[in-house]
C-alpha cells in the first residue's frame, strides 16, 4: 500500500531537516570531525552513525527522559537507548547503587552475597528457578543456543523470519522467496549459516509444525512479539501452539524478552501464562550497565546438570570474564526491587496507552493509511493501515524515507524516537506533558508532509 504522502514532500522534508540539523549543531559537527581521527567510522560503536543524520548528535548529559546535546539543546527522549534506559537515564536508585557499591569492588570473578537475593528475585519476577548473568542479551542468546544443542544433541535452531536477537551468527538468515538464505546484512561470515537454522514465518502454524516434526531442532528462539521489524503481534493461540509443538517434539522453547520486558513485571510470556523452557533478556536489566540474563526451567536446568555431570567442569565456550560481576548483580537487584514492580508498570502502561491513543488520533484525523501498536510501555507506528501478520509482510511495508523524515523533524524540535524504526518508549520519569509534546510535534510533522 502506498502512503498517501507524496514522495516529493518526503524528499523536501528530508533535505530541509538535514540543513536545519547542520545549522543547529555546529559543536556536534566539530566533535564528529575530530572523533573520526581515531574512532572506526567516527564513533565508539558503529550503530551510532545509523540515525539517518548528517553526523551523529553528541550527547553531553542524559537524565530521566531528558537529553542535552553538545550544542546545549534539550530533548525529550522516547528512544531511551533503544530500551537500554527503559527505566530512565541514571534513575536515582541506579545512580545511588553505582556510587555505593562501586566503591567496594566492581568485578572479582566470584559471587557476592547479593547473588542469593538476586537469584530469588529473578525466580519470583519471571517464574523460572535457575539463572545466569552474561555481558549482553546477544551473549545470553548465544549461551542458550549452546546449552540447547548440548542437552538435546541436535544441531539446528529455528527462528522466525526477519527476527533480530542481537549479533548471534545463526540468527542472520532469512526466507524471503521461500528459500532460506544468509541475511545479506551479515558482515564477514564465511560459513553457510542456513545449514544450521530453519526459518519460518511468525504466526504460520503449518510451517512451524512441519519444521519441528522432523525432530532435529535443538531450540526455537523467539520473541513473543516481533519488535525489530516494526511490531508483529502473535495471532490468538499462536504462542500456545508454539509451546505445545516444542514440547511434543522435544525442542527447547527460548523466549527472548529483551524488548518485551516492557509488557509487565515478568515480561510478555508471564503475562499470558506461557511457560517457556528458557528466557533471555538484557538491555535495561542493570539500569543501562551492560548485562544480560538467561533463566531455565527446573527441567532444563536438570538436563544441564546431567550433561555437565557426564562431561566434567572446565572450559565450555559459555561465559565471559566480566559476566556476573559484583556490580552487575548489585544493579540487577536495584532494578528488580525498584522498577520491576506492579505499581511502576501500571503507571508506565497508563501513560503508554495515552501515547498510543494520541498517535492513533493524529492518524485518524489526517486519514493516514497508518496504524499504531503497543506492547506495554512500548508504542510503534507503521506506515500501513493494518498490522502485518509476519516478518516478511512487515519488512515489505517499512518506509525508510518517511521514517527518517519524521525522525529528523522530531529531533530538530526536541523529541527523540528510536532511529531504526518508529518505536516510542515511556519511562518512569516521562510525564503527560512530555507525551503531549511528542503527539503535538508528530501532528505538526504529519501536517507539513501532507501540505
Ligand atoms: C530481541 C532482542 N534480543 C537481543 C538483542 C541484543 O541485545 P544486545 O545488543 O544488548 O546484545 C536485541 C537488540 O536489539 C533484541 O532486540
pLDDT at 179: 86
Is pLDDT at 94 greater than 80 in this prediction? yes
Provide the 8-state DSSP code for 233. Answer: P
Taking the CA of residue 139 as reference, the ligand 1 atom at the shortest distance is 11
pLDDT at 420: 86
Secondary structure (3-state) at 152: helix
Q: What is the mean pLDDT of the segment spanning 432-439?
A: 98
pLDDT digit string (tens) for 251-297?
999 999 999 999 999 999 999 999 999 999 999 999 999 999 999 99
223 touches ligand 1 (CB under 6 Å): yes
Q: What is the mean pLDDT of the segment spanning 171-193?
A: 89
162 touches ligand 1 (CB under 6 Å): no
pLDDT at 2: 46
pLDDT digit string (tens) for 57-89?
999 999 999 999 999 999 999 999 999 999 999
257 touches ligand 1 (CB under 6 Å): no
Q: Given strand 66-69, what is the order of strands in its sheet?
A: 59-63, 66-69, 74-77, 415-416
137 touches ligand 1 (CB under 6 Å): yes
Q: Which domains does the chain have, with CATH numbers?
A: 7-77+341-450 (3.90.1150.10), 92-338 (3.40.640.10)
Q: What is the 3-state secondary structure (H, E, C) of 267-318?
A: HHHHHCCCCCCEEEECHHHHECECCEEEEECHHHHHHHHHHHHHHCCCCCCC
Distance 314 CA to ligand 1 centre (A): 28
List the one residue out of 337, 334, 166, 339 whose CA is nearest residue 258.
166
Taking the CA of residue 83 as reference, the ligand 1 atom at the shortest distance is 14
- The overall average pLDDT reported for the chain is 96
Identify the residue whose C-alpha is closest to ligand 1 atom 5.
166
Q: How confident is the model at residue 1 (pLDDT cuts 50, 70, 90)?
A: very low
Strand intervals (E) in 41-145: 59-63, 66-69, 74-77, 130-134
Distance 406 CA to ligand 1 centre (A): 24
83 touches ligand 1 (CB under 6 Å): no
Distance 388 CA to ligand 1 centre (A): 22
pLDDT digit string (tens) for 121-137?
999 999 999 999 999 99
283 touches ligand 1 (CB under 6 Å): yes
Residue for cell digits 567442569? 313
Identify the residue whose C-alpha is closest to ligand 1 atom 6.
166
134 touches ligand 1 (CB under 6 Å): no
420 touches ligand 1 (CB under 6 Å): no
84 touches ligand 1 (CB under 6 Å): no
List the one residue out of 289, 341, 260 whose CA is nearest residue 81.
289
pLDDT at 3: 46
Distance of CA 2 to the CA centre of its chain: 28
pLDDT digit string (tens) for 146-165?
999 999 999 999 999 999 99
Distance 444 CA to ligand 1 centre (A): 32
Pocket test for ligand 1, best of 282, 289, 320, 375 (most atoms within 8 A of CB): 282
Amino acid at each position: 500500500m502506498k502512503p498517501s504522502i507524496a514522495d516529493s514532500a518526503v524528499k523536501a522534508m528530508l533535505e530541509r531537516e538535514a540543513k536545519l540539523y547542520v545549522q543547529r549543531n555546529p559543536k556536534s559537527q566539530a566533535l564528529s570531525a575530530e572523533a573520526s581521527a581515531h574512532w572506526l567510522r567516527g564513533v565508539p560503536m558503529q550503530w551510532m552513525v545509523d540515525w539517518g543524520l548528517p553526523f551523529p548528535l553528541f550527547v553531553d548529559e542524559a537524565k530521566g527522559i531528558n537529553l542535552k546535546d553538545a550544542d546545549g539543546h534539550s530533548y525529550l527522549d522516547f528512544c531511551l537507548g533503544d530500551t537500554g534506559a527503559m527505566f530512565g537515564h541514571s534513575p536515582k536508585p541506579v545512580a545511588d547503587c553505582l556510587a555505593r557499591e562501586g566503591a567496594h569492588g566492581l568485578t572479582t570473578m566470584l559471587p557476592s552475597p547479593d547473588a542469593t537475593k538476586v537469584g530469588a528475585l529473578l525466580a519470583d519476577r519471571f517464574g523460572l528457578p535457575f539463572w545466569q548473568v552474561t555481558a549482553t542479551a546477544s551473549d545470553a542468546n548465544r549461551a542458550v543456543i549452546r546449552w540447547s544443542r548440548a542437552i538435546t544433541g541436535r544441531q539446528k535452531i529455528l527462528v522466525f523470519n526477519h527476527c533480530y536477537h542481537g549479533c548471534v551468527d545463526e540468527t542472520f538468515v532469512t526466507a524471503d522467496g521461500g528459500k532460506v538464505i544468509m541475511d545479506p546484512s551479515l558482515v564477514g561470515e564465511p560459513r553457510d549459516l542456513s545449514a544450521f537454522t530453519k526459518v519460518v514465518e511468525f504466526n504460520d502454524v503449518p510451517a512451524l509444525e512441519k519444521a519441528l516434526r522432523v525432530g532435529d531442532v535443538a531450540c526455537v528462539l523467539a520473541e513473543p512479539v516481533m519488535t525489530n521489524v516494526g511490531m508483529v503481534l502473535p495471532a490468538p493461540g499462536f504462542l500456545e501452539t508454539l509451546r505445545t509443538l516444542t514440547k511434543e517434539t522435544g525442542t527447547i522453547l527460548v523466549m527472548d524478552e529483551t524488548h518485551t520486558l516492557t509488557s509487565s513485571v515478568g515480561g510478555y510470556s508471564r503475562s499470558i501464562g506461557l511457560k517457556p523452557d528458557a528466557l533471555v533478556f538484557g538491555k535495561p536489566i542493570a539500569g543501562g550497565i551492560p548485562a544480560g540474563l538467561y533463566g531455565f526451567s527446573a527441567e532444563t536446568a536438570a538436563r544441564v546438570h546431567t550433561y555437565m555431570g557426564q562431561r566434567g567442569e572446565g572450559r565450555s565456550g559459555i561465559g565471559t570474564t566480566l559476566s556476573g560481576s559484583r556490580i552487575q548483580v548489585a544493579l540487577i537487584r536495584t532494578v528488580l526491587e525498584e522498577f520491576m514492580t506492579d505499581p511502576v508498570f501500571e503507571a508506565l502502561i497508563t501513560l503508554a496507552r495515552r501515547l498510543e491513543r494520541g498517535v492513533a488520533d493524529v492518524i485518524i484525523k489526517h486519514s493516514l493509511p497508518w496504524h499504531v501498536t503497543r506492547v506495554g510501555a512500548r508504542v510503534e507506528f507503521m506506515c500501513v493501515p493494518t498490522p502485518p501478520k509476519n516478518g516478511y509482510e512487515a519488512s515489505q511495508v517499512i518506509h525508510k524515507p518517511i521514517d527518517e523524515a519524521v525522525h529528523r523533524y522530531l529531533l530538530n524540535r526536541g523529541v527523540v524516537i528510536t532511529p531504526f524504526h518508529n518505536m516510542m518508549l515511556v519511562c518512569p520519569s516521562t510525564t503527560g506533558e512530555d507525551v503531549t509534546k511528542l503527539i503535538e510535534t508528530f501532528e505538526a510533522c504529519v501536517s507539513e508532509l501532507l501540505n
